[in-house]
Amino acid sequence: MCFFFVEHKNKEPRHKRRLLLPGFHGCRESSNQRRPAPCCSCHTAIAICFIADCTSSSLQKMAPDDVNRRSAFRIFHRFPVRLTFGAKSEAKTVTQSKKRQQRENEADDLKRLAERTDILECAWHRRNDDVDEEDLEENLAETEAKNEPNVDIYGDVGSRADNEFEQIGGSTVIMVYICWVMLFVFAYVRDIFRRLGFVADKSNKELEKLKSFVPLFSDFEAFYQRNCYIRVRDVFERPICSVPGATVDLLDRVSHDGNWTYEYPGTTSKVINIASYNYLGFAQAAGPCATASVNSIDEEGVACCTTVHERGRSVSQAKLEALVAEFLGVEDAICFSMGFATNSMNAPCLVDKHSLIISDQYNHASLILGCRLSGASTKVFKHNDMGSLEKILRDAIAYGNPKTHRPYKKILIIVEGIYSMEGSICNLPGIIALKKKYKAYLYLDEAHSIGAMGKTGKGIVEYWSCDPKDVDILMGTFTKSFGSAGGYIAGSKKTIDHLRVASPTGYYSSPMSPPIAQQIYSSMSIIMGRDGTTDGAERIERLARNSRYFRLRLKQMGFIVYGSNDSPVVPMLIYFPSMCGFYGREMLKRKVGTVVVSFPATDMTEGRVRFCISAAHTKELLDEVLRHVGELGERSGSKFSRKAHLYRDQKIEW
């Protein structure tokens, strides 16, 4: 397994420094009331609620017997004196022995199940135990034989980099919790002071005329927003004013009232951009892509002003759909104007209330919203855990829907290619094996991996040398690697035809804007080498080198980095919520733009800095970022890893 439990060493003096985070400064008087705007973090919080809901409901579904046990009448079943009389003793011994036998059988079965499950813990989990992997490797060998060159920039398919989730000691976790408790204690104190009128209340609140209404924001979310998020608001939502390439111009802003309002002096500062999802560096304001999209405005205008069904897609969108299908090696594809809506609006077209969705623990909010809107039962399996997935699949087929006691009509497994917060790569061969065995359908969200992974940029399917036809729904977005906007769904012609007709976005929303579609078309052509250069292949290779180099260097310095070494999403764990503000601000001072994430987007104890590597970064830029991160790591004591010695003597080449 890939979990490492690390002994904790005495680090208290360092952590104590970090505890003093909330202060009282920055709450001066102002009567400026703000209208509540549903910002990004609100949505994240909502998403978290969804996840929590799904999880709790799934737990209930998974243990129907426990629910029975809690029923009010259970006492009557357990009276020591039974109301039936007669020769019972004989029957009792028979049933007892039967039961014992049954239990033994069950234990045996479980053991066998466990063994069988291990087969599916694919190559990269148990690289050295080849005994159980024969089947899988045979399969892989077959596919490799078909696609001749089996070694690419990531190495051999059979020995892909595994996902690492190095765990820290329990006492550090306790320190993180203490940090949160301190944060909330001070937040409450602030709230009390605010209510007493010692400091100005600048938070979102009701207008005078709405006093009689039930307050719109009174719950924990608003409390968190008002007292915790606002303390570090300057780290998020930084406006940019240039193309988000390898470097980006940030619009300078200052706040004189504790981040409630900002003033823009009009100056800008250039920082290294290691935060945007510009994996292949196609966010460019010049060059063939930009020119082509500008030209498409002359041909087709900036918008279509119609819905897809009323007056049809734009010509450029139709061209794009054909290219996407060809790129991915499937029969057909359909494109949508927004990546988020691709998930949330199309999942309901595929499953209904008689179906079951099995969703990964860390799936994106859009997928979870899609699950909710579809009305299907949802169960959640542990992140990338094939054993957990198989158990849920078996139980779901065997027991059916616990509410209606009918078998499910279909089962849809929803996973992502690269998980955007964990940096981990999904175990696609294992999932495909399970999917085939249990006749389930597979929905693969390649939002981050399309373009960025695989030898020719065809995403996680190519990375694992799987057959794209084994995945029923291939979904992806154009926001990331292609430097544009929108999303696609690709698959068999039958599936796509159904979506074309049934998807609500066809009836009610506008088709892709021509210049947006053109940008994707141009960048995808470059990746495919249609422009006659090797620019696309070079970008992919540079990204792979950059990611591996950056990740290994971070690990060598002693940071905990989650995920696979091949993934361009690099979450570096800093655990403490107070460190998020520290890293965000200090990195900006050193002219590096990074993303810091904490609760509610991640687990409470797992605050992190997320780097997104791009093909546009040069080795010099990465070295500069690494130097700054290393210095900050020294200053803040956030080099938590106990595995740095493994990398000490390793020579890391770019």
Partner 1 sequence: MVLAVLSGLFETSLLHLTIEGVLLLTVVYLVFRMNRPNKDRSSHRLTEKQKDELIAEWVPDPLVPETPQDHHVLNPRFADGKMTKNVSIEGQTYLNMASSNFLSFIGESRIEERTKQTIFKYGVGSCGPRGFYGTVDVHLDLEAELAKFLHCEEAVLYSYGFATVSSAIPAYAKKGDIIFADEGVNFAIQKGLQASRSRVEFFKHNDMEDLERILKIQEEKDNKDPKKAAKIRRFLVVEGLYVNTADLCPLPKIIEFNGSTRSVCSSTKAGLLESLERQEERNEGALVVWRLFGILKSLTFPFKMKRGIECERKMIHR
Q: Which of residues 510-539 bind partner 1 (CB under 8 A)?
A: 510, 512-513, 515-516, 519
Binding status of residue 91 toward partner 1 by CB under 8 A: no
* b/e map 452-473, b = 16+ CB within 10 Å: bbbbebbbbbbbbbbebebbbb
203: nearest Cα among 182, 187, 181: 187
Q: Pick the binder of partner 1 from 14, 28, 43, 589 (CB under 8 A).
A: 43
Q: Pick the binder of partner 1 from 165, 180, 327, 340 (CB under 8 A).
A: 340
Burial bucket for residue 403 (CB in 10 Å: 0-12, 13-18, 19+)? exposed
Binding status of residue 585 toward partner 1 by CB under 8 A: no
Shortest CB 472 distance to partner 1, Å: 6
Tokens standing for 473? Answer: 């729904």
Q: Where are the beta strands (DSSP E) in 223-300?
A: 247-251, 268-273
| Residue 80 vs 149, nearer CB to partner 1 | 80
- Residues 119-178 contacting partner 1, CB under 8 A: none
Q: Pick the binder of partner 1 from 82, 220, 285, 653 (CB under 8 A).
A: 285
Shortest CB 615 distance to partner 1, Å: 13
Residues 350 and 357: their CA atoms lie apart, in Å, by 10
Tokens standing for 223? Answer: 């409390």
Q: Pick the binder of partner 1 from 122, 222, 324, 345 (CB under 8 A).
A: 345
Residues 399 and 393: their CA atoms lie apart, in Å, by 10
| Residue 43 vs 469, nearer CB to partner 1 | 43
Q: Are 122 and 429 in contact (CB under 8 A)?
A: yes
| Residue 558 vs 584, nearer CB to partner 1 | 584
CA geometry: angle 640, 645, 647, nearest 5 deg? 100
Interface segment toward partner 1; rule CB under 8 A; list 36-44, 129-137, 193-201, 536-544 = 36-44
Q: Pick the binder of partner 1 from 216, 322, 646, 652 (CB under 8 A).
A: 216
Q: Pick the binder of partner 1 from 439, 589, 619, 627 (CB under 8 A).
A: 439
375: nearest Cα among 351, 342, 341: 351
| Residue 170 vs 504, nearer CB to partner 1 | 504
Binding status of residue 403 toward partner 1 by CB under 8 A: no
Q: Hey, is 481 helix, strand or coil?
A: coil
Shortest CB 407 distance to partner 1, Å: 6
x-marked contacts with partner 1 along 346-385 as a string, rule CB under 8 A = ---xx------------------x--xx------------
Binding status of residue 20 toward partner 1 by CB under 8 A: no
Tokens standing for 303? Answer: 């918008």
Beta carbons within 8 Å of 133's beta carbon, 6+ residues apart: 119, 122, 123, 126
Q: Pick the binder of partner 1 from 276, 359, 424, 567 (CB under 8 A).
A: 276
Binding status of residue 114 toward partner 1 by CB under 8 A: no
Residues 99 and 505: their CA atoms lie apart, in Å, by 55
Q: Are 133 and 119 in contact (CB under 8 A)?
A: yes
**Sheet containing strand 268-273, strands side by side:** 247-251, 268-273, 592-593
Q: Pick the binder of partner 1 from 289, 320, 418, 573 (CB under 8 A).
A: 289
Interface segment toward partner 1; rule CB under 8 A; list 82-90, 143-151, 313-321, 535-543 = 313-321
Query: How do the residues of the chain divide into helix, strand and coil, expressed in percent and rounded to 5?
Result: 45, 15, 40
Residues 399 and 407: their CA atoms lie apart, in Å, by 7
Q: Pick the binder of partner 1 from 144, 201, 472, 535 (CB under 8 A).
A: 472
Pairing of strands 592-593, 3-5: unpaired
| Residue 140 vs 413, nearer CB to partner 1 | 413
CA geometry: angle 560, 563, 564, nearest 5 deg? 115
Interface segment toward partner 1; rule CB under 8 A; list 208-216, 451-459, 528-536, 549-557 = 208-216
Q: Pick the binder of partner 1 from 6, 8, 41, 626 (CB under 8 A).
A: 41
Binding status of residue 93 toward partner 1 by CB under 8 A: no
Interface segment toward partner 1; rule CB under 8 A; list 99-107, 191-199, 569-577, 645-653 = 99-107
| Residue 90 vs 219, nearer CB to partner 1 | 219
Q: Are 411 and 358 in contact (CB under 8 A)?
A: yes
Interface segment toward partner 1; rule CB under 8 A; list 13-21, 172-180, 190-198, 499-507 = 499-507
Shortest CB 100 distance to partner 1, Å: 10
Binding status of residue 411 toward partner 1 by CB under 8 A: yes
Radius of gyration of the chain, Cα coordinates, nearest whole angstrom: 27
- Residues 314-333 contacting partner 1, CB under 8 A: 314-315, 318
Shortest CB 238 distance to partner 1, Å: 6
Beta carbons within 8 Å of 630's beta carbon, 6+ residues apart: 557
Q: Hey, is 445 helix, strand or coil?
A: strand
Amino acid making up residue 235: V
189: nearest Cα among 17, 23, 34: 23
Q: Pick the binder of partner 1 from 81, 83, 145, 286 (CB under 8 A).
A: 286
Q: Residue count at the site for partner 1 (CB under 8 A)? A: 136
Residues 63 and 42: their CA atoms lie apart, in Å, by 32
CA dihedral 367, 369, 370, 375 (to 10 degrees): 130
- Residues 219-248 contacting partner 1, CB under 8 A: 219, 236-245, 248
Interface segment toward partner 1; rule CB under 8 A; list 81-89, 163-171, 279-287, 559-567 = 279-287
- Residues 51-90 contacting partner 1, CB under 8 A: 64-65, 69, 74-75, 77-78
